[in-house]
């Protein structure tokens, strides 16, 4: 199905730059066809998507980019325009003749759990994606490992905040003023306002993913450095204890030698012969 923007749109503009086909336009703005001809806007009030240019990101992403960044979830499949993966792939190739889009290019229809809405008719296709949600609970398990991040607090002076608590720096494109927002709120489509001039800023999905990946890499290096330090300290402690244990054994042998070198007073002595001098 083609994607449509519903009336819940708040005109944040987060979706427009994410579309690989320039199929999204601001309300009241004419849209341009692939042949260069101009056409009247589909909507005069809110952003809209041109069905003839929408490929649901087939050929570029395994998800609909506009829906991923929309803060109010108003980018939804249009039930009035059902389209298959093959049709959308062919359209992507027509819209981008300069690109070589392979048959196995990214597509939400191939994404786990997305085959059911794509196939539409065959019930078997809908039955196949049903089981995959079961492994989904495994995702939280993979998130569990970051818990070791709590290890660094052993050195309070070197503690770092959790990823969600990092302050993300933003530079206002209007006044060049700088401010920060917690990463927990730094999400695609969320509108931030400059405290200096009230200029708006809307992070894109690529920005959020870039920051998220950078934080993940930094925290991984941080944990690795502490783990390496702890392992080195453990080996050094073992070597120190081994040396001290040997020194203790040597000292005990030294004490034993001193204690047995001379006979203590009152110890039994061997009787000498009567004429022994």
Predicted TM-score of the model (pTM): 0.43
pLDDT of 237: 94
DSSP state letters, 195-207: TTT--EE---HHH
The three-state secondary structure class of 100 is coil
pLDDT of 175: 92
Least confident among 47-61, 219-233, 257-271: 257-271
Average pLDDT, the chain: 80
pLDDT of 132: 46
Structure token digits, residue 267: 């110890």
Of residues 134 and 258, more confidently modeled? 258
Work out the percent of the chain whose per-residue pLDDT is above 90.
Answer: 29
Residue 42 and residue 48 in contact, taking contact as beta carbons nearer than 8 Å = yes
pLDDT of 127: 37
Residue 72 and residue 5 in contact, taking contact as beta carbons nearer than 8 Å = no
Structure token digits, residue 11: 């005109």
Structure token digits, residue 93: 């190739």
The three-state secondary structure class of 49 is strand
pLDDT digits (tens, 9 = 90+) for 76-110: 888 888 888 888 889 988 888 888 888 888 888 87
């Amino acid at each position: 199905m083609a994607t449509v923007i519903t009336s819940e749109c708040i005109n944040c503009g987060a979706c427009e730059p994410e579309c690989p086909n320039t199929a999204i336009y601001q309300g009241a703005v004419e849209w341009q066809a692939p042949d260069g001809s101009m056409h009247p806007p589909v909507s005069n009030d809110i952003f809209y998507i041109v069905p003839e240019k929408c490929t649901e990101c087939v050929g570029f992403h395994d998800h609909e980019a506009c829906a991923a960044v929309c803060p109010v979830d108003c980018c939804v499949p249009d039930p009035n325009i059902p389209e298959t993966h093959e049709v959308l792939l062919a359209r992507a190739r027509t819209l981008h003749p300069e690109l070589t889009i392979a048959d196995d290019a990214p597509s939400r229809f191939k994404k786990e759990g997305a085959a059911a809405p794509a196939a539409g008719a065959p019930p078997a296709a809908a039955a196949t994606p049903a089981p995959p949600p079961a492994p989904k609970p495994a995702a939280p398990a993979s998130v569990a490992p970051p818990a070791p991040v709590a290890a660094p607090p052993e050195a309070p002076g070197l503690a770092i905040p959790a990823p969600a608590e990092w302050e993300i720096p933003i530079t206002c494109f209007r006044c060049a003023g700088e401010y920060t927002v917690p990463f927990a709120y730094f999400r695609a489509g969320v509108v931030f306002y400059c405290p200096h001039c009230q200029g708006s800023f809307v992070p894109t999905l690529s920005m959020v993913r870039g920051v998220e990946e950078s934080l993940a890499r930094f925290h991984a290096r941080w944990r690795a450095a502490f783990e390496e330090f702890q392992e080195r300290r453990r080996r050094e402690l073992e070597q120190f204890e081994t040396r001290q244990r040997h020194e203790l054994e040597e000292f005990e042998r030294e004490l034993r030698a001193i204690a047995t070198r001379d006979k203590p007073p009152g110890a039994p002595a061997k009787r000498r012969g009567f004429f022994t001098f």
